[in-house]
Structure 1
């Protein structure tokens, strides 16, 4: 019974998407092109929300707009992520929570980034983002060895060089940490 409750809304969404697509084709056959194209776009929207949770999409949009409160509210609508999301989305859910939490309390967001990596992320730049965030947290804890490990892993994962500036900033912070340690030893 519990599995039926979990799967039914998604299958219902899929059935509605195919119904809209069929209606769009029928409207185009009868020369109602405007309405047909509108229904094609609506069916595409329904199919996108079948594969990607709409609350996570809203949270990503709010994160891009730098509105953390609304992003947190959008993610809070997901009550039990294991029931509402597909398994490949677990990592992205944890990554989004980690990004929101890192603005409030950076040291508390470490568990979410590690959880995102353990669940698995498919895109290499998201893996690099999680590891870069973990490197920043390790620097905050003054753990240079761990920060260096995460930084090299982030550099490997960032194949398209999307995070090159942030990686350079973390390296600079590590250099500042080395200088501070040298000053302590010379005193």
Structure 2
């Protein structure tokens, strides 16, 4: 929020200086100041922490990416697409720290807001499918994986989707999980002599 206030004051000051330069007849300075003023005004449309996060993800530095994305505390003030990517990146990078219910809600919200790229949509659905398998919702996981397979236009997630499908066949169903919880886990039967 402080960054937004500083950016607003800087944009207002530069805009005033640009107009004043044209008004007083300093056309050269006025034309020169149009470009920095435009850059400051355009910075309202794109969050720098999101840019840093995407850059750190490209270079493979997960810790710096997580710190950069967690600096965004109020994504509701961002444009819709950026808000979707901020929530999506927060869910992926904080998967170990947040409970799975919160991660699932964040991924569903990011999908609803509208991710732009096909492989991002596929990745979000693949992670949701993994969370559904963990909670025993196999049918929902199958449909999410089928959607992810359709949306993976570049074929980047083809191997991971196949691996998840093979793991789902070995995963216990919701009823088996419930029975195991009721029975207190699997008990060994004594050997007959």
Q: Tell me the TM-score normalized by structure 2.
A: 0.65
Aligned position for 1:165: 159
Aligned position for 2:86: 93
Aligned position for 1:31: none
Match of 1:150 among 122, 144, 147: 144
1:102 aligns with 2:89: no
Aligned position for 2:25: none
Question: Kindly tell me: are residues 106 and 130 of structure 1, through their superposed partners in 2, closer, same or farther at Cα, counting changes over 3 Å?
Answer: farther
Structure having the higher helix fraction is 1
Kept after mapping to 1: 8 A contact 2:10/2:40:
no
Aligned-pair CA distance for 1:45: 8.1
Partners of 2:104 and 2:87 in 1: CA distance: 10
Superposition CA RMSD, Å:
4.0
1:16-68 superposed Cα distances (whole Å, 9 cap, x missing partner): xxx9xx65xxxxxxxxxxxxxxx9xx999879855431101111222344433
Partners of 2:99 and 2:166 in 1: CA distance: 19
Moved more, 94-103 or 47-56: 47-56
Question: Kindly tell me: are residues 96 and 178 of structure 1, through their superposed partners in 2, closer, same or farther at Cα, counting changes over 3 Å?
Answer: same
Partners of 2:6 and 2:161 in 1: CA distance: 41
Match of 2:168 among 148, 164, 174: 174
Aligned position for 2:55: 61
What is the aligned length?
159
1:125 aligns with 2:143: no
Q: Tell me the TM-score normalized by structure 1.
A: 0.66
Question: Kindly tell me: are residues 174 and 52 of structure 1, through their superposed partners in 2, closer, same or farther at Cα, counting changes over 3 Å?
Answer: same
Q: Which runs of 5+ in 2 are unaligned?
A: 16-27, 180-193
Question: Kindly tell me: are residues 146 and 70 of structure 1, through their superposed partners in 2, closer, same or farther at Cα, counting changes over 3 Å?
Answer: same
Q: What SS does the corresponding residue of 1:75 show, helix, strand or coil? A: helix
